[in-house]
Structure 1
Amino acid sequence: MKKLEKNPQLYRSLFKYSPDGICSLDRNGVLIDINPVLRSILGYSKEELTRMTYHTLIDSQYIDLANERFNLVLDGNIQYFETVCIRKNGDKIPLHITSIPIVVDGDISGVYVIAKDLSKEKEAYRLLEENEEKYRSLFEHNLDAVVELDLDGYYKDGNKKAEELTGFSKSELLNMPFSSLITKDTEKAHDDFEKIKSGSSIRVEQIMTDKNGNVFDLDVSAVPIRKHGEIAGAFSIARDVTEIKQSRKRINELAYTDQITGLPNRNWFYTEITNVITNTPKQMLAILTIDVDNFKEINDLFGHQIGDQALSLISSRLKKCVRSKDSISRVGGDEFIVITQNVKEEEITQLAKQFINKMNQPVLLQEHEVVVTISIGISLMDTADSSVDDLIRQSNQAMLLAKKIGKNNYQFYTKELHKKITRKQQIEWALRDAIEQDELSLVYQPQVDVVTDNITGMEALLRWNPAFGAVTPDEFIPIAEETGLILSIGEWVLREACRQIKKWEKQELPKVRVSVNVSARQFKDKHFPSKVRAIVEEEKVQPSDLEIEITESVMLDVEGASQLIQELKELGVKVAIDDFGTGYSSLNVMKSVEIDTLKIDKSMINDVSENDRMMCLLIAIIRLGKDLNTQVIIEGVETREQKELLKEYQVIAQGYFYSRPLPAGRLQQVWEKHGISAWRNL
């Protein structure tokens, strides 16, 4: 934490005291912060500059280049180039620009610019070429080290700054070749010197060792010396840029390092994985996406500061598991990615197990022992066919499967998983247009009094028949709920059921109540009662002819559920609890709200003739409903034996014994031609 607190101080110190101009820009090129050196270079005040974009400062001849380089930096590329700016007084000033992306939480939010004033160097080159003697004073008193080399590369002259920089006196330098101070890449240095001898000017970075053995970085500009039309040697101007390079390195580290865990970040990961795939496309490569289970609960319980500490502890444990051939990064939130190369599937399995076992050991957060679990998805590449995006997407999908089947486990991406995901995507995309394409329909299953055989109601059930073939409700309804499509589909069902009620009313068929299932997502919408009111009024049906079915699972929020049920009751709409007996939440609701119908789950009627305990439980629930003056419907009645068993308790039955769900048209024909008794023969 102290290290994190210190970083901004280091940054401000560099920003304020750098010998070069520094500024930061947002993604639109607006200047945000400008250090004193750059303000001095440009001749504007800070208030004036912060109202500008860089476009207003660049000479028109250079604006296209500046725009091109700015966009490259926004794509994550560090840029070096020269340009010309216009000072406030109208003077043109040449600058060498270093542009670096500003990365916050893995996203590039702007650009850092380091501007070096080239005016002195440009002027020095011109003056030295015009008249060596005239500018001797410039040579001696230059703020940068200036040396003269002969055609053999030996020092012929040097100013005071050159003596300070190298640690050697002028007399000592005159007996030395320049290459004797070069620490590395001496061959390249000789090649560069040959370019100067051929008439070219160069600007390079070199690493030099001084007389005392100190190693530092130099920014070197060199030009040929011409006398009487012939090249006689070279002038070299050198500046110690060790601190600047270290600062650049630190900025680069910040751009590619996660500040909470110290791990490489998302930017680094994408660069690394692209390099790995490009350089070694045929080897076995695996990506492991690791997501912390229920991490939001840690933040909610302890706060984000402790959450960050937890992430740091988690990353430390993960790092202890990775091997030399593995790379790990934090790509955002509570998600980590591991790249491992040259591995077999058994090794990957072992690594995943090691991650999980390591994390299953409790961590101490604010004196509380907390077990943090993880879910891992794994994708493999053993050919050159897969792209980076493919591998990441596949490992993420496998991770989501690991979460779905219980968390604290790992899953490999497989062809079967691909088929399931493809099928799910196909359903989701088609479901978005299902209403518009007129692919949805309702079927109705009668609810029959077991004593009189009179139909007392109908349950409306949703069916979907898209172009690629019918999809069962068990498959498409969970997807509709997950994506939120259930809200529009649910409204369609309510409206369609009301329209059918109105049609039967106009045809003077026996009046029955129609019940419609409502999903948990619909029921959690505080505007749901008003939507029901609007549909009932628009379709001109009696509210009491409509019954809303909700499952026990939607009533975990007892207070909220009671309020919505009460609002529906005030509309005159009937309310039923579906699948009663599979939970307990509805008992709490029933203490304060009058429920019209209890629908007992079909699991209760199965095997009651052979299970006395189940029969006792069923009877108790029926009596509870009767005592509360509530209609009781038994679902899943499929045999005459079950029907006869229920007669004694005077309940309503629903199931295949009476009818399977049928389209409204077929129900209408049976209603008209055969009457009630025909239900048994459908």
Structure 2
Amino acid sequence: MDNYNNRCAIMENLIQSSLDAVLVFDEKGRLDLTNDNGKDLLELLDIDPDNCHLTNISSNRHLSGLEDLSESFVKAINLKVNDEERKYNCNYGRVFKEKSYVGCFLIFNDFTCQELLFRKQKYIAEHDEITDFYNKSAFYRYTEELIENHPDIKFDIIYSDIKDFKLINENYGQDVGNEVLLSIAEILKTFPQTNTVIGRLEADHFALCMPDDRLDVDLIKKHSWIQIKKDDYDLVVHNVFGIYQISDKEEIDVPTMCERARMALEHDGLEKKVCFYNEVMKENLIKEQHILKHFAMYIRERKFLVYMQPQYDCKTGNLVGAEALVRLKRKSGISIPYDFVPILEKNGYITEMDYYVWEEACRFLRKCIDNKSEVVPIAVNVSCKDFDKINVNNAFCILTKKYNIPHDLIRLEITESAIASDEKLIRVVKDLRRNGFLVEIDDFGSGYSSLNMLQKISIDVVKLDMNFVKEDSNKESGLIILEGIIKLLKSLRMTVIAEGVETKEQLNLLTRLGCDVIQGYYYSRPIPMDEFYDSLK
């Protein structure tokens, strides 16, 4: 008897000291034992602890999920009082002694605080802190759920991009940039919200998934130009949209859908403001994926072919150099740069290909020197992205040392637009020239800052923009400008090359105006490296 009493005392003490609300009922459903937390719970439920029956719990209007107490269970339930909702883990157990029912217990564990903390952490993990839209991963997940849960609805993905957003941040500061993002977010909230998911994927890129029958292209176009006025600035923001209409015939994931909408935007969103993804873009995407998939193999198996386009002295017609141009050998034939270079640039592979061409040019020069063939300088193209990815100066020093090539046999051809807009690049160009490399500006005259650039930096060779030569050669004003540019460049001791020369008339004109070197189909198309080598013997 003493042992039984001791066990009862211990059990009662455990119940009283529990942080949970504990309610113990006898076989007739009458409350037999509870603790202070249990009394607090009963008070919330408007139940008198001295007159409490199990049915008062199961039928209480403040509780949900306890209607059936015929079987033991453990589950989460809700308690709602005065618009305040609390979460409990409820453990309900029926007690038997020798197969006879002797009572039951209810243990309520309040996890409201943990639930609120979890929800807060989940919200932070899923939402962009500036716009409160879903972030990329959450947008992908909830869009996938939306599409799966509504198989009868045709959906569209709308991709939004703010043009030149980086310049807004640089010129006005991040706070203004954030204000622009918030303005775009407010506009996107005006789109139909039923069965719609909105997310900020990155930087100034937003995405929506919405029913196709709610798509209003005129509304979207209306928001392609946005004026944002504040006390200290007045901005006009250009917002462009790409749309991918989801087809049930294609099983692709949400990131791919967004990529297709973005591709539509980049294809011609600037001109049309709103552009739909189509089959041509799909074919381009397939081509892009194929090139990227096989890029390593192209390098490894030397599928990138270097062609040479000879350059000739205007006055004598003698060979004075060549430009190294790249082609890609595929099963379908030889591909020109237009078919693959933009793809490599966009996806970060251009530097590997450029380095391959640089090394091929150095290897070719070494071969000419070793075989005592005629040796002429070779111009190689250097992408502005190369300067971001590697130390171009070191790369050429290493290659020329490896093949024991004089530095002045390599001309680095860089576009005017790249140098004109990058102060860091100007410093690199100066270092290259100090190391004895010849630097050549390509497409000179195609931009608006050509003359300003000449004030900042000394250049060895200038190549006149091909279209500039073609379009202006028969116009009086164009001839005056062209002659003035050539005289200016010559006075600065720069060699002037005209590319794209196709006729005898163009050759004579450029020679008369003082051009030094001609490159173009009039003399020679780009030819395979071996064919060019044979011409040097």
Q: Which residue of 2 aligns with 1:194?
A: 70
- Among 42, 46, 51, the residue aligned to 1:167: 46
- State the 1:556 CA deviation: 1.1
- 2:340 pairs with 1:465: no
> Aligned partner of 1:635: which letter?
E
Q: Taking structure 1 as reference, are residues 569 and 307 closer, same or farther at Cα in structure 2, changes over 3 Å only?
A: closer
Where does residue 514 of structure 1 map in the other structure? 378
> Is the Cα contact below 8 Å between 2:77 and 2:90 reproduced in 1?
yes
Change beyond 3 A, Cα 1:664–1:379:
closer
CA distance in 1, matches of 2:137, 2:358: 49
Post-superposition Cα deviations, 1:61-107, rounded to whole Å, max 9, x if no partner, equal: xxxxxxxxxxxxxxxxxxxxxxxxxxxxxxxxxxxxxxxxxxxxxxx
Which residue of 2 is the match for residue 146 of structure 1? 23
Match of 1:658, SS? coil
Counterpart pick for 1:318 among 188, 203, 224:
188
Q: Does 1:286 align with 2:156?
A: yes
Residues 1:597 and 2:461 are matched in the alignment:
yes
- Residues 1:399 and 1:409: Cα distance change in structure 2 (over 3 Å): farther
* Equivalent position of 2:30 in the other structure: 155
Corresponding position of 1:22: none
Shift of 1:319: 1.3
Correspondence list, 1:228-627, <5 A: 229-238=99-108, 250=120, 253-254=123-124, 256-266=126-136, 268-301=138-171, 303-304=173-174, 307-331=177-201, 333-341=203-211, 343-344=212-213, 347-348=214-215, 350=216, 353-355=218-220, 357-358=222-223, 360-364=225-229, 367-383=232-248, 385-387=250-252, 389=253, 391-403=254-266, 405=268, 407=270, 409-522=273-386, 527-557=391-421, 559-591=423-455, 594-606=458-470, 610-627=474-491
CA distance in 1, matches of 2:10, 2:408: 106
Alignment correspondent of 1:181: 60
Q: How many residues align?
A: 527
Mapped partners of 1:213, 1:670: distance in 2 = 90
Partner of 1:109: none
Q: Cα–Cα, structure 1 residues 174 and 616, in superposed 2: closer, same or farther, change >3 Å?
A: closer
1:640 to 504, 511, 515: 504
Q: Is the 8 A contact 2:45 2:62 kept in 1?
A: no
Question: Which range is displaced more, 495-504 or 612-621?
Answer: 495-504
**Residue 472 (structure 1) shift:** 0.6
Contact residue 318 and residue 355 of structure 1 kept, 8 A = no
Q: How does 1:204-243 map to 2 (within 5 A)?
A: 204-207=75-78, 219-226=89-96, 229-238=99-108
1:384–1:275 Cα change, 3 Å: farther
Q: Alpha-carbon deviation of 1:436? A: 1.8
Give 1:324's aligned amino acid: T
User: Secondary structure, in 3 states, of the residue corresponding to 1:283?
Assistant: coil
Distance (Å, rounded) in 2 between the aligned partners of 1:665 and 1:142: 89
**What residue identity is the alignment partner of 2:255?**
I
How many angstroms apart in 1 are the aligned matches of 2:404 and 2:14? Answer: 97
Seen in structure 2, the aligned counterparts of structure 1 residues 663 and 265 have a Cα distance that, compared at 3 Å, is: closer
Cα displacement (A) at 1:246: 5.3
Question: Is the 1:155–1:178 contact (alpha carbons within 8 Å) kept by the matching residues of 2?
Answer: no
Q: What amino acid sits opposite 1:666 in the alignment?
A: E
The answer on whether the counterparts of 1:157 and 1:174 sit within 8 Å (CA) in structure 2 is: no
Question: Would the aligned equivalents of 2:439 and 2:461 in 1 still touch at CA under 8 Å?
Answer: yes
Deviation at 1:415, TM superposition (A): 2.3
Residues 403, 222 of structure 1: alpha-carbon distance in 2 compared, 3 angstrom cutoff: same
Q: Aligned equivalents of 1:425 and 1:314: distance in 2?
A: 32
Change (3 A) 1:558 1:132: closer
Structure 1 letter corresponding to 2:74: R
**What SS is found at the alignment partner of 2:340?**
helix
Residues 230 and 291 (structure 1), Cα distance of their counterparts in 2 relative to 1, 3 Å cut: same
Q: 1:417 to 1:640 in 2, by over 3 A?
A: same
Q: Is the contact made by 1:183 and 1:208 (CA closer than 8 Å) also made in structure 2?
A: yes
Matches within 5 A, 1:18-97: none
CA, structure 1 residues 571+157, in 2 after alignment: closer, same or farther (shift >3 Å)?
A: closer
1:316-353 CA-partner distances (Å, limit 9, x unpaired)? 33212233332324455444332223x33xx42x1x54
Question: How far apart in 2 are the matches of 1:150 and 1:359?
Answer: 72
Gaps of 5+ in 1: 1-126, 196-200, 673-682
CA offset digits 1:214-235 (Å, max 9, x no partner): 9866554333344564114433
The residue identity in structure 2 corresponding to 1:285 is: F
Q: Find the counterpart in structure 2 of residue 666 from structure 1.
A: 531
User: Is contact 1:257–1:268 with CA below 8 Å preserved after alignment?
Assistant: yes
Letter in 2 for 1:362: Q
Q: Which residue identity does 2:43 align to in structure 1?
A: E
Distance, in Å, in 1 between the alignment partners of 2:109 and 2:17 is 14
8 Å CA contact retained: 2:309, 2:519: yes
Give per-residue Cα distances to partners, 1:21-50, cap 9 Å, x unaligned.
xxxxxxxxxxxxxxxxxxxxxxxxxxxxxx
1:287 touches 1:380 (CA, 8 Å); kept in 2? yes
On the 8 A contact 2:146/2:195 being kept in 1, the answer is no
Counterparts in 2 of 1:440 and 1:364: CA distance versus 1, 3 Å: same
Give the SS at the match of 2:243: strand
For 1:428, give the aligned amino acid: L
Structure 2 unaligned blocks of 5 or more: none
Cα distance in 2, alignment partners of residues 246 and 524 from structure 1: 46
What is the CA distance between 1:284 and its match in structure 2?
0.9
Whether the 8 Å CA contact 2:242–2:275 is kept in 1: the answer is yes
8 Å contact kept, 2:489–2:496: yes
Highest RCO, 1 vs 2 (Cα 8 Å, sep ≥ 6) = 2
What is the alpha-carbon distance in structure 2 between the residues aligned to residue 445 and residue 141 of structure 1? Answer: 91
Residues 171, 281 of structure 1: alpha-carbon distance in 2 compared, 3 angstrom cutoff: same
Q: Post-superposition shift, 1:412?
A: 2.6
Alignment TM-score, normalising by the size of structure 1: 0.66
Shift in Å, 1:420? 0.7
C-alpha displacement of 1:423: 0.8
Q: CA deviation at 1:638?
A: 1.8
Change (3 A) 1:633 1:178: closer
Q: Distance in 2 between matches of 1:593 and 1:330?
A: 41
AA in 1 matched with 2:146? V
Judging changes above 3 Å, is the alpha-carbon distance between structure 1 residues 254 and 487 closer, same or farther for their aligned structure 2 residues? closer
C-alpha spacing 1:355/1:500, structure 2 compared with 1 (3 Å): same
| Cα deviation digits, residues 153-203 of structure 1 (max 9, x gap) | x53646574453543435643696544425565xx6453x222xxxxx433
Classify 1:149/1:385 alpha carbon distance in 2 versus 1 (closer, same or farther; 3 Å). farther
Q: Structure 2 vs 1, CA of residues 222 and 371 (structure 1 numbering), >3 Å: closer, same or farther?
A: same
